[in-house]
A and B are shown apart, each in its own frame.
Chain A
Amino acid sequence: QAVVTQEPSLTVSPGGTVTLTCGSSTGAVTSDRYPHWFQQKPGQAPKTLISDTSNKYSWTPARFSGSLLGGKAALTLSGAQPEDEAEYYCMLLYSGPWVFGGGTRLTVL
């Protein structure tokens, strides 16, 4: 099965902007991979932030946005808040099966 890659860790300053990326071992990530992004805080279940590249949910803070960037899926956080410190996972679809990336630990410091 394919391998999905994410940055292991990133740090952003409060109020700053950071972009997390999600790559695929099979080549460029396109909208046909239906990229999803999840946020998970310690001891909690994951929460879906973004589906199908860029679709947000009612609970997705406006400061999060999804896109395709340089052959990867991207999650951009603009105006980071302390409560955004968490693990972020992307997930890509491969004609039936999904594959998660290894996660990015985002520190707001």
Chain B
Amino acid sequence: EVQLVESGGDLVQPGGSLRLSCVVSGFTFRSYWMTWVRQAPGKGLEWVANIRQDGSEKYYVDSVKGRFTISRDNAKNSLYLQMDSLRAEDTAVYYCGGGPGGAWGQGTLVIVSS
């Protein structure tokens, strides 16, 4: 069974940092592009970043460039999102996704507020 489990969401002050993790099971992680998307409260889905199988290509939505870094550890079947210089507008549920069935995790909530 394909499973993606996100963690690391929290309440953080503006300007702070968080590192989200996504542990994957049920498929060959190293064979797939992986993606982070987010959903602000009451809003639609927003693609945030994705990363090639070997980590050699990474893409970001303009609003997070220079602040967020996507990475992966294929030995640990894990995807990460390092989020720095957080802003109120980054408040959202963050989902990781990828794999053979376009699977998604259940999400982790990030709240940026003072």
Q: Measuring CB to CB, which residues of chain A are less than 8 angstroms from any residue of chain B?
A: 1, 36, 38, 40, 45-48, 51, 57-59, 87, 89, 91, 96-103
Contact, CB under 8 Å: B47 / A100: yes
A45, B105: Cβ atoms under 8 Å?
yes
Nearest-neighbor residue (CB-CB) of B58 within chain A: A96
Chain B residue with minimal CB distance to A44? B106
**16 pairs, A vs B, C-beta closer than 8 Å:** A36-B102, A45-B104, A46-B104, A48-B97, A48-B101, A58-B101, A87-B44, A89-B45, A96-B50, A97-B60, A97-B61, A98-B35, A98-B50, A100-B46, A101-B44, A103-B45
With both chains docked as a complex, state the minimum distance between the C-beta of B81 and any C-beta of chain A, in angstroms: 15
Smallest Cβ-Cβ distance to A99: which chain B residue? B47
The interface of chain B, by Cβ under 8 A from chain A, is: 35, 37, 44-47, 50, 57, 59-62, 95, 97, 101-107
In angstroms, Cα B105 to Cα A57, docked, is: 17
Cβ contact within 8 Å between A48 and B104: yes
Q: How far is the CA of A31 from the CA of B101 in the complex (A)?
A: 19
Q: Give A58's nearest chain B residue, CB to CB.
A: B101
Contact A96 B44 (CB under 8 A): no
Across-interface contacts of A102 in B (CB, < 8 A):
44
**Which residues does chain B contribute within 8 Å of A103, judged by CB atoms?**
44-45
Instruction: Check B45 against A96 for contact (C-beta < 8 Å).
Output: no
Task: Please determine whether B44 and A100 come into contact, CB atoms closer than 8 angstroms.
Answer: yes
Q: List the A residue with the shortest CB-CB distance to B60.
A: A97
| Residue contact B107 to A45, C-beta cutoff 8 Å | yes
Q: Is the CB of A57 within 8 A of B47?
A: no
Which chain B residue shows the least CB distance to A49? B102
Knowing A46-B104, A48-B103, A57-B101 are in contact, say whether A91-B59 is a contact too (CB < 8 A): no
Q: A57-B102, A89-B45, A97-B60 are in contact. List 19 more A-B contacts (CB 8 A).
A: A1-B61, A38-B45, A40-B45, A45-B95, A45-B106, A46-B45, A46-B97, A47-B104, A51-B102, A59-B101, A87-B44, A91-B47, A96-B50, A97-B47, A97-B59, A98-B50, A100-B47, A101-B44, A103-B45
